[in-house]
Amino acid sequence: MAVARRLRRIVRRLQAQGLGTREIAAELNRRAIPTPQAARWHPTSVHRLIRRLDEIKWAADDDTA
């Protein structure tokens, strides 16, 4: 769950900057943050990540920003 929280923080910050899935994928790849399968990020994988992160019931939402 720690990895999911870290990804959530990063993705939410990038979304707050107005980045779309294509730009977020590029930034995650630039930062060398691998997907769960140790692959590169693509816009579709970012979209799926965002959808899954939204579905998770977080115990504490204080790390969103």
Domain parsing of the chain, residue ranges: 2-55
Please tell me the predicted confidence (pLDDT) of residue 63. 53
Cα gap 50→9, rounded to integer Å: 11
Please tell me the predicted confidence (pLDDT) of residue 56. 83
Please tell me the predicted confidence (pLDDT) of residue 47. 97
CA 64 to chain centre: 11
Answer for the pair 44, 28: CB distance below 8 angstroms, yes or no: no
Task: Look at residue 57 and tell me whether its pLDDT is greater than 90.
Answer: no
Please tell me the predicted confidence (pLDDT) of residue 33. 94
Task: Look at residue 60 and tell me whether its pLDDT is greater than 60.
Answer: no
Give the burial class of 15: count Cβ atoms within 10 A of its Cβ; 0-12 exposed, 13-18 middle, 19 or more buried. middle
Question: What does the pLDDT average to over 48-61?
Answer: 80
Answer for the pair 25, 48: CB distance below 8 angstroms, yes or no: no
